[in-house]
Amino acid sequence: MLDIRFLRENVDVVKQNIKNKFQDNKLPLVDEVVELDAKLREVKQEVEQLRSQRNKASKTIGGLFAQGKRDEAEQLKSEIAKVGGRIDELTALETELSDKVRNIMMIIPNIIDPSVPIGKDDSENVEVKRYGEPVTPDYEIPYHTEIMESFCGIDLDAARKVAGNGFYYLMGDIARLHSAVISYARDFMIDRGFTYCVPPFMIRSNVVTGVMSFAEMDAMMYKIEGEDLYLIGTSEHSMIGKFIDTINPESSLPLTLTSYSPCFRKEKGAHGIEERGVYRIHQFEKQEMIVICKPEESPMWFDKLWQNTVDLFRSMDIPVRTLECCSGDLADLKVKSVDVEAWSPRQQKYFEVGSCSNLGDAQARRLKIRVSGEDGNYLAHTLNNTVVAPPRMLIAFLENHLQADGSVTIPEPLRPYMGGKDKLVPTKK
């Protein structure tokens, strides 16, 4: 969410930013909120003047009573009562205008970084760099669920009966591989200085609206019926929420945390064949990383965060590339975002396995995450990035390590988490 003072003083900048994000339908909101803000300031000023007038009159009334001028005092009291009524009217109007301003400001997108490429949607995202050599073997790579089934490692039919489409049972070596990747990612991030955390898996509505836009909320979040609670779509939500309404000493920054959680998502819309299986699902597990830092340090931390994901995947011999998200592909709170994509030998293309975002002070303004510095308090910057989300990551892992005989090799760093195994052997032909 933008600072209303910034919008007030930079109307053209805000409008151009909206155009750059191809959200022209939001342009009228800028003029509307400017007008509402002007009315709000007028109302606040009148309320202050009337309160000052009432305070002065109250002292005068006391003096008149002390002088025995009861009639004058009563007349003045009657006049002040009318002032009090007007103050009540204006106070109600002030609340109404404040709510309208805030609701519109929650919809107007954050100012994107000047380095972000301008484009309408994810088809115009820009490749930055490749890491590792993509390999396409001379033998067939089956669909990922077929690979899992060869290890008796997945049961989608039973999951559909129990929970519906978009759910799965992982079993045996595949389930163990899933947990091994999570554990390895946890320790990988701890070794890089991040504090490990297991957060709440449900959050209140004020945290939801603090960490994401209304559009994202509608598309992603599951609401707990009858309670002010939502299932998290990613642990970033509750991890950033941990710092709601706090003032953090500048000396304590940066705050770097890595968190494990299950994630729950509606995943609205129809999806193609490549998004069946465990690619796009309603429930999965993930290791996440977040940073709370000083504004001037957020670009540096942004680069560190996505590099962590690249390094993790490369340590498991999975080729990846980074992709700069264009303006039209950025969620409204984001300043800048980079996706990490893994190589799929079966599809002979890359697909998304993680996303790194710098949100500037947008979440901090909504959630009142402040920093106390030498010159007073200011808003922190928040960043988040996927370390690894195993169901989707398993697709990349299995495809890149599948051998001609159907076995799957286990990279050395992951072997301690797999009981020392250096490969998985299929149990079903």
Q: Check: CB of residue 206 under 8 Å from CB of residue 238.
A: no
Vertex 151: Cα angle to 354 and 413 (nearest 5): 50
- pLDDT value at residue 217: 84
Residue 113 counted as domain residue? no
Nearest-angstrom CA–CA distance, 8 and 105:
12
Residue 372 CA from chain centroid, whole number:
24
- pLDDT value at residue 218: 82
Q: Where are the beta strands (DSSP E) in 106-194?
A: 126-131, 154-155, 169-170
Residue 220 CA from chain centroid, whole number:
11
The verdict on 35 and 176 lying in the same domain is no
- pLDDT value at residue 276: 67
Residue 347 counted as domain residue? yes
**CATH code of 83's domain:** 1.10.287.40
Nearest-angstrom CA–CA distance, 22 and 118:
9
Residue 114 counted as domain residue? no
**CATH code of 256's domain:** 3.30.930.10
pTM score, whole prediction: 0.90
> DSSP readout, 10-34?
-HHHHHHHHHHTT-GGGHHHHHHHH
The verdict on 126 and 213 lying in the same domain is yes
Q: Is 349 helix (H, G, I), strand (E, B) or coil?
A: strand
Model confidence pLDDT, tens digit, residues 318-349: 999 999 999 999 999 999 999 999 999 999 99
Vertex 49: Cα angle to 45 and 52 (nearest 5): 140
Q: Residue 58 sits in which domain range?
A: 4-105
Residue 429 counted as domain residue? no
Of 383, 355, 297, 299, which Cα lies nearest the Cα of 115? 299
The verdict on 304 and 201 lying in the same domain is yes
Residue 112 counted as domain residue? no
The verdict on 79 and 26 lying in the same domain is yes
Total structural domains within the chain:
2
Nearest-angstrom CA–CA distance, 215 and 17:
18
What tokens were used for 332?
A: 């409204």
What tokens were used for 14?
A: 């805000």
Burial 149-165 (b: 16+ CB within 10 A, else e): bbbebbbbeebeeeeee
- pLDDT value at residue 428: 74
Model confidence pLDDT, tens digit, residues 351-402: 999 999 999 999 999 999 999 999 999 999 999 999 999 888 999 999 999 9
Residue 111 counted as domain residue? no
Using 50 as the pLDDT threshold, list the residues of the chain that sit under it: 270, 272-274
10 Å CB burial of residue 49 (0-12, 13-18, 19+) is exposed
- pLDDT value at residue 81: 75
The verdict on 83 and 193 lying in the same domain is no
Residue 300 counted as domain residue? yes
- pLDDT value at residue 19: 98
The verdict on 72 and 196 lying in the same domain is no
Residue 206 counted as domain residue? yes
Phi, psi of 151 (to 5 degrees): -105, 10
Q: Check: CB of residue 310 under 8 Å from CB of residue 406.
A: no
The verdict on 97 and 176 lying in the same domain is no
- Looking at residue 402, what DSSP letter applies? B
